[in-house]
Structures are given as C-alpha cells and as structure tokens.
Amino acid sequence: MSSDIIGTTRPSGTGRTARAGGSVRRTGTAALWDRAKTILIHIELAVLAVVVIYPLVWVVGASFGATGGLAQASAIPSDPSLANYVRLLTATDFPRWYLNSFIVATSNMVLSVVISAFSAYIFSRLRFRGRTFALTSMLILQIFPAFLSAIAVYMLFLNFGLLDSLTGLIVASLAAQLPYNTWLLKGYVDGISTSFDEAALIDGASRTRIFTRIILPLMKPMLTFVAITQFAVPWMDFILPKLLISSPQHKTIAIGLFEMIADETRNEFTTFAAGAVLVAVPITILYVVLQKHLISGLTAGGEKG
C-alpha cells in the first residue's frame, strides 16, 4: 500500500526547481540570441546605408566643389559654390539635352499608360480569336534581352526614316516596355470583379464607358507605378539613344553627360556631378508626390500576383 502511494507521489520540489532553472537558462539563451540577431541586422543595415548613401553624398558634394576633375572632387567641399551648375547650364548644351529627355520620357509615360491600360482591359475582359497567341507572344518576347534586337531596330528605323529623331526614340522606348506593362496591368484587371462590368452593361453602358468610368479609376495605384517606371526608364536610358541618335540637337542627358567624362581631352567631372544631381530632380519629385499611390500599386500588384 505504501509503495503504491510512493509510486504515485508527485515530483518533489527539487525536481520542479531543476526544470524551472533549465527553462530560465533556455529563456535567457533565446533572449541573448534574439538580441545578437537584432544587432547583426542593424549592423547590416548600417553597412548597406553607407554603401548606398555615401556615393550620393559624394556626388552632391563634388557638384558644389571646385571646378575640375576627380582630383578636385570631395564629399565635403572646402569652398562650396554653384560654379559647376552655372558652367553646366551656360557652357554646355545641357538645357537642350534636358528638354529632349523630358519630351521623350513624358511622351513615353503618357502613351504607355494609355495604351497598356486599354490593352490590359481588352485582354482581361474580352475573348477573341488570337487572344492567347498574342499574350503568349508578348510573354516570350520578354525572355530575350533587348540588345538582341538592336540591329533589327536600327535597320527598321532606317527604312522608316525614324533614325536620329525624338519620335523614333519615343516609339522604340514605348515598344520595348509595352508587352510587360500590358501583362502587369492585365493581372491587376483580372483581380477586379466582373460584377462591375455586368451591372454597367445591364444599365446600357458601353465597353468604352465601363473602362473609362469604372475600371480606369480602380486601376489608379497600378497606373501610378507604370507611369513612374515609364518616365524613369527613358529618362536614364543610354543604349537606345546611343543607337538611334547622332546629331547634337537630338542628344539626351545620358549621351551628353557620358561624353563629358568619356572624352580624354576634357576634365569636367565636377560639372558632370552637377548634371547628375539635376537628373535626379524629376524622379525625386515624382516619387515624393506619388509615393502613396506607388506603394499602394506595389502592394496591390503583389496581392493579386
């Protein structure tokens, strides 16, 4: 009887204390490990911040420093001035380059948004012969790098008289990005309920009216993302302008600034730095103004993807 009672007795206080002590040790180890991971994450972020931010600070500082080459460039100029900016705007064709790039980027942005939005709605809502083939073709074309078609684009534009013109540059930029934008927006439109279309059709609305009054406003977040990217791509593009543009009056910012530092007889790195700062202004303004819609578009695109 006594042995049964002893066999069923609960663990002594010493056993509970031992387990509690082990639990405390494990908890303390986990806390130390979590703290170490937090410290490592902060160190990594600090290193990345230095790697990303320092070149930007250095370029901005060089743009306000003494006029000259790399030897005169410094992140913190001893005698800051606007001499490089004055020289850039008065002694070079930078204003013309800036205007040409702005025309190309703005035109590409507007046309890309309009055409890709309309195409996305058509491919998402309508069923017609050749639809699958067209979508598959656009997807396959995105697999190949753009430079593979450089010679074909050059010969095509030569035959159509579009070489060395801003119009040709706009057409090339638009055609290069249109398949991707169409697929991107189509995926977003697929996530919009067709009940909106059906209700509007019952009320007698046309497809065009449904698109402009109902679907297009709902696409605003993703359209903002497309607008910003389609402005930024031609604004900073170098390959297409270098391939298609040859005359000085049609040069873009990328070509003009590249020639300032590529020419061995010129020593204008600080002037180039001033141009690089001015190049970042439109992109920065667009991002600040449309930041809310841009983040919404990225989030919505991820959810629907």
Note the pLDDT tens digit of each residue in 211-261.
Answer: 989 898 888 888 988 999 999 999 989 989 998 998 999 999 999 999 888
DSSP string, 203-256: TT--HHHHIIIIIHHHTHHHHHHHHHHHHHHHHH--HHHHHH--SGGG--HHHH
User: Encoding tokens for residue 262?
Assistant: 């590529």
User: What pLDDT shows up at residue 166?
Assistant: 93
User: What pLDDT shows up at residue 245?
Assistant: 92
Q: What is the largest CA-CA distance in the chain?
A: 109
How many angstroms separate the CA atoms of 286 and 275, rounded? 18
Instruction: Report pLDDT digits (tens) over 84-134.
Output: 899 999 989 999 999 999 999 999 999 999 999 999 999 998 888 888 898
User: What pLDDT shows up at residue 31?
Assistant: 78
User: What pLDDT shows up at residue 3?
Assistant: 45
Residue 14's pLDDT band (cuts 50, 70, 90):
low
Residue 68's pLDDT band (cuts 50, 70, 90):
low
Share of the chain above pLDDT 90, in %: 29
Q: Which amino acid is at 297?
A: G
Question: Is pLDDT of 6 > 50?
Answer: no
- C-beta separation of 268 from 261 below 8 A: yes
The stretch 260-272 carries a mean pLDDT of: 79
How many angstroms separate the CA atoms of 139 and 189, rounded? 17
Instruction: Report pLDDT digits (tens) over 141-182.
Output: 878 777 778 888 888 898 988 899 999 999 999 988 898 899
Highest mean pLDDT among 12-21, 101-110, 127-136, 277-286: 101-110
How many angstroms separate the CA atoms of 71 and 104, rounded? 35
Beta-carbon neighbour count of residue 73 at 10 Å?
Answer: 19
Nearest to 184 by CA among 251, 265, 123, 270: 123
Name the average pLDDT for the chain: 83
- C-beta separation of 109 from 115 below 8 A: no
As a dihedral over the C-alpha atoms of residue 202, residue 205, residue 207, residue 212, rounded to 10 degrees, the angle is -130
- C-beta separation of 80 from 67 below 8 A: no
Nearest to 98 by CA among 240, 281, 245, 220: 281
The stretch 185-205 carries a mean pLDDT of: 88
Question: Is pLDDT of 279 > 90?
Answer: yes
Residues 281-290: contacts with CB within 8 Å, 24+ apart?
282/102, 282/105, 282/231, 282/235, 283/228, 283/231, 283/232, 283/235, 286/228, 286/231, 286/232, 287/228, 290/224, 290/227, 290/228
192 backbone φψ class: left, alpha, beta (φ>0; ψ -120 to 50): beta
